Amino acid sequence: MEKKLGSGFKLLALSILCLILTFFGISPIYAASSSQTIAVKVVFEIEDKVVPNSNINEDSEEFLKADYTTKIVAADGSSETQALIDKSGAKLVLMSGALRNPLTFSGVATDAYDFSAAIPALLNQYYIEYDASKTGGKTLSYWYEDERQPQDGVDFSANTPAFINNSNASSLSNSEQNALIAQTENYIQECLAYRLPANTSGHDAVFGTTGQTYGSWLIFTAARAGYTPHSGFAEECIAAFEEKYSQSGKLDSSGQPLNEGFDANEVAKDVLAITAIGYDARDVGGYNLIEMLTNGKNPSEGYFVDQVSQLALSSANYLPDRDLSYIHELAANALSGSVSHSDPLIDMYVMEFQPIAAYYDPNAKSGDEFYDVKQAMETVLLPYFSRIQGYTGLFYSGIDYNNAWSNAQSFIMLGMSGVNLFDEDYIKNGYSMFDLLPDKTLSFSADEGQIARGYEALVRSYKGENQLFDCRDVASTVPITTAILSLPDADAINSANKATVEAQIAEIDALNTKTALSNAQKSTIDWAAYTAAVEKVKTVADEDPADDDPADETPTVTFSVEKFSLGQGYYMEPVEVAIESGDTGITLLNRVMGEGSLLWKSNYLVGIYGAQEGTVSVPEAISNMPSHPDFGPAPTTESALSEGLIDAGRLSEKDYSPMSGWMYSVNNDFPGYGFDGYTPKDGDVIRVQFTLWGYGADLGEDFEGGMAPINTANKTELTRLLGEINSSGKKAVYLQDSDFKSAYEAALTMMQNFEATAKSVNEAVENLKASIPAVDDQESVSCTYRTHVQNVGWQNWVSDGAMSGTSGQGLRLEGIEIKLDTLADLGIRYKTHVQNIGWQDWVSNGNMSGTEGLSYRLEAIQIELTGADADKYDVYYQVHAQNVGWMGWAKNGGQSGTAGFGYRLEGIHIVVVPKGQAAPGSTNNAFISQ
C-alpha cells in the first residue's frame, strides 16, 4: 500500500510539473523505467570575484552573488556518451518563479571558496531539458528524476573560485578616523532614541509593554552611551527593579529576602543595567544580586550565563578578590579550539570567549598572571576577527554577510580588547568597521540595543574611555557602599582599632562629598553601619601605650618552603613570621617571599621564581609509587629530567611531571581551598611543598578519587622547633656546639625522609630539644628593609633575612631603605653604587639610598652598624646579581655586588646577629670587580 501511495504521489507531482512546463511552452523529458539511461552531472565553472578599487557595490546581496556557467556532462566521463549529451542540447532550466538560494560568496577574502554545500539547494530549483530524439533512444538520469538530493561528485562538481580584495588597505588619517567616530556616535544616539523613545518609562523599560520588550540590555546600553530618554529615567528604572525583585515573594523563614531561585542569566543582565545607571546591585529592594551570581542557588538554562555573570561581577569590581580561574579556563579553551556549542554563527563563538578581552594586556610577559590571555587573543581571537572581516569592513556571520548580531558581538569584543581599530589588519578594501552603519530600524528581537552597544564599545576604545562593561567611571553608590561594608561592627571598635576606623570614616565622607550622586541614589545607601561606627568612635578613648600588657606577644606562624620531592631540601628553612592584621595565605606568602617572587593564578600558587635552582634527585619512595592511568609510571630522576622545566626562571606546576605543583599544609592538614581562603592563626605551622606525583599523594595527601598516598609521618612539631631555632637569633652560636650541630643536621635529614616513622620523627624532636646549648641572652635586633623594584615600585617591608626584590625575573633594584627595631643603642647606615652615578653618600635609619624615577640600577651596596652597641653585633648581607646569582655574605661595611660589569642587583637578604656569630652562609664571592 505504501509503495502505491508513494507512486501515486510521484505521478501527481510529475503531472503538476508537466502542466507547469506546458504552460510555459516547455516539454520536459522523463526517463522510461525500461529504457537505457545516461547518468549525468552538472559541472559548475564559477568565476573569481575581485573587489574593484573604486565604486564598490555596497549592496552585498547583489555584489556577493557568484557568476558562473554550467554544463551537463556524462557521469562516466566517456567521450561517446558526452557526444550524445551535447547533441541533445541538455541544459538546466529553472522550474518556476524567481531563483532562490543563489550561490553567494561570504565576502571574506579567500583563495578557494567552496560552494559544494550550497549547490544542492540551488540545483533543486532546476530540471534538465534535452532533445530525446538525439540521444540514441537513451534517457538522461539525474537527481530530480530519481527523487533524491544532489550529491557532490555524483550529480555535480564545481571549482573553488577566489574572492580577492583590492590593494586599498592603508590606514585612515586622524581626521578621517575622527569623522567616522563622530558619525558613529550620532548613529548610536539615533538608534537608542528609536529603540527607547522619550516617552518610555523606567517601569516599562524594565517590565516591557504589550508588543515591546525593552529590557536590561537596552537600559545598560543607553546608560553606557549617555542616552537618557527623559529626566528621572534612572530613578524610575531602579524603582522598577526593586519592584521586580520584591514582588518575587522569595523570603526566608524570618521573612527576609531570599537570594535563591532566580534565573542567573537574567540576574546578571539586571546587575549590568543597575550598575550602569549608578546603583548598587547588592541591595535591590533588599535582595543581593551579587550573592545570587555566586551562591550557586540560581540556575539558568540561558546562553552564556557564566560569561555574562563574569561581566556583571567585574562591572563595579564587586568582588575584587574573586577567583579568576574561569578566565584562564576560557583562554585555554580558545587556544585548544574547544567551545561549548555547535552553532555556526560567529556571534555565538565570540560571546563564548568575550570576558577574556577585559584581561588582555599586549605587554604581558611569560610568567604574568594573564599571559595565557595574551596568547589566546593574539594567536587565535584577534587574527580570527581580521580573517572574518569582509570586503566592506563588516563581518561574515558564518551563514551570511553583514549579519548585524554578529557584527555587534565582534565590535564588543574588539572594543574590549583595546586594539587599534584602524590598524591595517582591520581595513578591508579601504573600509573600516565604521563605514557602513546599519539601518536604525533593523530588528534585534529581544535585544534591540545590541548594535548600538557594539558601536559604543568601539567608540569607547577609540577614545580611551573605560571598557564597555567597566562601569567604574559612573557616578555610583557602589564605592560608598563598599567602604561602609568594610567597617567593623560597632561592638568590635576599640582603642586598638579606633584610628583605623576613623580613617575609614574619613574615606567614606570624602567619597560622599566628591561623588556627584543624586538624592535618589543617596537614599538607596544603607548608612546604618556608618552611623553606628561614627557614634561608637566618639565613645572610645585613644589607646594608651602604658596600658599595653608587656606580656602580650605578637602572634606568629611557622613557615617553610620545601622541595623534598625533588631531593633538593628546603628552598626556605622554617622561620617564625609575625601575623599582620588582615593577613591571608596570599599576603603572608608575598610578604615572606618578596613581592614579585611568586606567580599567582588568582588564589592559586603556580610558581616560585628562583626555586628552580638545584640538582634533581627523585627520592626512591616517590619512584616506587603506583603508575597513573593517564600519565604512566611514577617519575624517576631520569624521567623527571627529561620532562624538565616549563620556564627556566621558576619552579612551577607541571615541571618535571604532569602531576606536579605547589601545595600547602597547615598543621599537617591540606586545606581544600586556595591561599586566600586561609587566615593565619597564632601557632600554625605552614609548609609550602612541591608535589611531584599524584597531586599531593607523594606528600601524604589522601583525596577522594586520588592515588594511594605515601604514609608520611606528621612533622609539624619538628618544623615548629626548627622555626624557633632559626628565628632565635642564636642559631649560629648553637651550631658551634657539635652535639647541637649533629642533632640539627639529623633533623633536616628526617624532614626530607618520605618514609620516616612517627617514632623516629618524635625522637628527632626530643634529641634536638635536648641538644640546644645554653647561651647568654643578648638584646634582640630586628632588621627591616624594603627595595624599589623596576616595574613594581616599593615592595612591602621584610625582616631578618627574608628576601626583598625578585629572583629569576630580571628586574633591577633601584633603591633601598633599611631600619632597625631594637632597644639597644644601635643604628644602621648604608650606601649604594648606582648606575651613571657611582657610590652615593651614606644614609641611615630608613632613608632611601639609590634613585626613584630615573630607572638607574643598583650595582653594589655597603651596610654597617652605628651606635654605642655596634661592637656587640654584626650585620650580614647578601645580594642576587645579574648573571651571577646569589653571591656570598658580606659583613660590617664590606662591599657586596659587582663593579665594572654593569650588572644589576635583583634581590637582597640582610640580618643582624650577635657579635661573633657565624655567617648565615658562605662568605666567598661577596663582591667581584674588573
Cα–Cα nearest to 454, from 470, 473, 434: 434
Q: Which ranges of 247-295 does DSSP label H, i.e. alpha helix? A: 264-276, 289-294
Per-residue confidence (pLDDT) for residue 309, from 0 to 100: 94
Our CA angle for 50, 56, 58, nearest 5°, is: 115
Residue 704: predicted pLDDT? 67
- Distance between CA atoms of 909 and 898, rounded to whole angstroms? 16
Q: Considering only CA atoms, which of 432, 662, 444, 703 is closest in space to residue 565?
A: 662
Rounded Cα gap, residues 379 and 384, in angstroms: 9
Whole-number Cα distances in Å, 851 to 295, 457, 838: 49, 41, 12
Query: Which of 61, 56, 152 has its CA nearest to residue 105?
Result: 61
pLDDT for 341 equals: 63
The DSSP result for 541-606, as a single string, is: PPP-GGGS-TT----EEEEEEE-GGGT--EEEEEEEEE--TT--HHHHHHHHH-TTSEEEETTEEE
Q: Which residue do the cell numbers 527593579 mark?
A: 241
Instruction: Read off the DSSP letter of residue 697.
Output: G
Res 471: pLDDT: 95
DSSP string of 773-808, one letter each residue: PP-------EEEEEEEETTTEEPPPEETT--EE-SS
User: Among 689, 694, 692, 713, which Cα is nearest to 617's?
Assistant: 692
Q: How far apart are CA 273 and CA 221, in angstroms?
A: 8
- Chain centre distance of CA 765: 45
pLDDT of residue 145: 81
Per the rule left: phi > 0, alpha: psi between -120 and 50, beta: everything else, 568 is alpha
Contact at 8 Å (CB) between 807 and 783?
no
Q: Is 306 exposed, middle or buried (0-12, 13-18, 19+ CB in 10 A)?
A: middle
Per-residue pLDDT of 509-528, as tens digits, reads 988 888 889 989 999 999 99
What local confidence, expressed as pLDDT, does residue 15 receive?
42
Angle at 662 between CA 294 and CA 609, to 5 degrees: 110
The C-alpha angle 92, 96, 100, rounded to 5 degrees, equals 80
Task: Tell me which residues of the chain have a pLDDT lower than 70.
Answer: 1-35, 341-344, 443-446, 542-552, 595-596, 704-705, 729, 732-733, 775-779, 808
| Structure confidence at residue 914 (pLDDT) | 86
Q: How far apart are CA 694 and CA 672, in angstroms?
A: 16
* CA–CA separation, 641 and 542 (whole Å): 61
pLDDT of res. 806 = 82
- Name the H helices within 24-107: 60-63, 79-88
- Separation of CA 207 from chain center: 34
Report the distance separating Cα 652 and Cα 61, nearest Å.
Answer: 54
- Residues with Cβ within 8 Å of 101's Cβ and at least 6 positions away in sequence, in order, are 118, 121, 122, 125
